């Protein structure tokens, strides 16, 4: 399922020209605006090449005074912590993250990347379990978990959930926001 999700996402992105991709990513920011308006600390991510970029949404939130935070890993074995600030350093997974001495924060809204999501809110990630390990604490601290992706990443078939999987609160794509909880 993960392989098929990646192939589907890759094929979709390969068919986009840069202007259309930029338009869709701005449309995602517009879809997220009602949630961004309520957020004081927003957890985002630095996107991989085929992932939808949350950066237009993050820029809009920052313009209204929202604190931005990104996952930061100290090493390959550690769980990530959200740290405030711009992702300017390359972390152990070769993904940009804030400096490790940046303040640790608890986002009230977290935008999560994904490979696929089903209509119940079960998220299929990259497979390393980083967000799975963080999701419970994020939710206990009041964080709303919103998966973001291209519309083609919403599956009709059910994704098998493990005991540790927490369903997302919602899924946002350029085509709209679907809340699960």
**C-alpha–C-alpha distance, residues 107 and 41, integer Å:** 5
Pairing of strands 96-97, 89-90: antiparallel
Nearest to 109 by CA among 157, 156, 85, 143: 143
How does 63-81 read in b/e, with b if 16+ C-beta sit within 10 Å? eeebbbbbbbbeeeeeebb
Interval 138-151: pLDDT, tens: 888 889 999 999 99
Domain boundaries, given as residue ranges, for the chain? 2-179
Consecutive H or E run containing 118: strand 116-118
Crossing angle of helices 55-63/18-38, nearest 10°? 40
The pTM is what? Answer: 0.94
- State the pLDDT at residue 181: 82
CATH of domain 2-179: 3.40.50.10420
pLDDT of residue 172: 98
Confidence (pLDDT) at 37: 97
The values of phi and psi at residue 5, to 5°, are -60, -45
Residue 127, pLDDT score: 65
Contact indicator for 9, 21 with CB cutoff of 8 Å: no
Q: Which residues contact 54 (CB under 8 A, 6 or more apart)?
A: 28, 29, 44, 45, 47, 111, 148
- pLDDT, tens digit, for every residue of 70-95? 999 998 888 889 999 999 999 998 88
Give the span between the Cα atoms of 57 and 25, in whole angstroms: 8
Q: How many CB atoms lie within 10 A of CB 157?
A: 10
Low-confidence spans in the chain with pLDDT less than 50: none
pLDDT for res 93: 85
Q: State residue 16 phi and psi, 5-degree precision.
A: -95, 135
Cα–Cα distance measured from residue 127 to residue 142, given in angstroms and rounded to the nearest whole number: 25
Helix, strand, or coil here: 123?
Answer: strand
Residue 94 is predicted with a pLDDT of 86
């Amino acid at each position: 399922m993960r392989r098929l999700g990646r192939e589907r996402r890759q094929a979709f992105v390969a068919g986009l020209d840069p202007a259309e991709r930029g338009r869709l990513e701005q449309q995602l920011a517009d879809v997220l605006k009602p949630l961004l308006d309520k957020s004081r600390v927003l957890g985002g991510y630095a996107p991989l090449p085929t992932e939808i970029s949350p950066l237009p949404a993050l820029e809009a939130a920052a313009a209204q005074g929202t604190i931005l935070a990104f996952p930061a890993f100290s090493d390959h074995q550690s769980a990530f912590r959200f740290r405030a600030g711009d992702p300017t350093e390359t972390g152990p997974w070769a993904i940009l993250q804030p400096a490790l001495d940046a303040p640790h924060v608890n986002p009230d809204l977290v935008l999560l990347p994904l490979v696929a999501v089903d209509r119940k809110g079960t998220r299929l990630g990259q497979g390393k379990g980083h967000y799975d390990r963080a999701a419970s604490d994020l939710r206990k601290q009041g964080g709303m978990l919103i998966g973001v992706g291209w519309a083609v990443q919403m599956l009709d078939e059910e994704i098998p959930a493990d005991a540790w999987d927490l369903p997302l609160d919602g899924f946002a794509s350029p085509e709209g926001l679907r809340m699960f909880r």
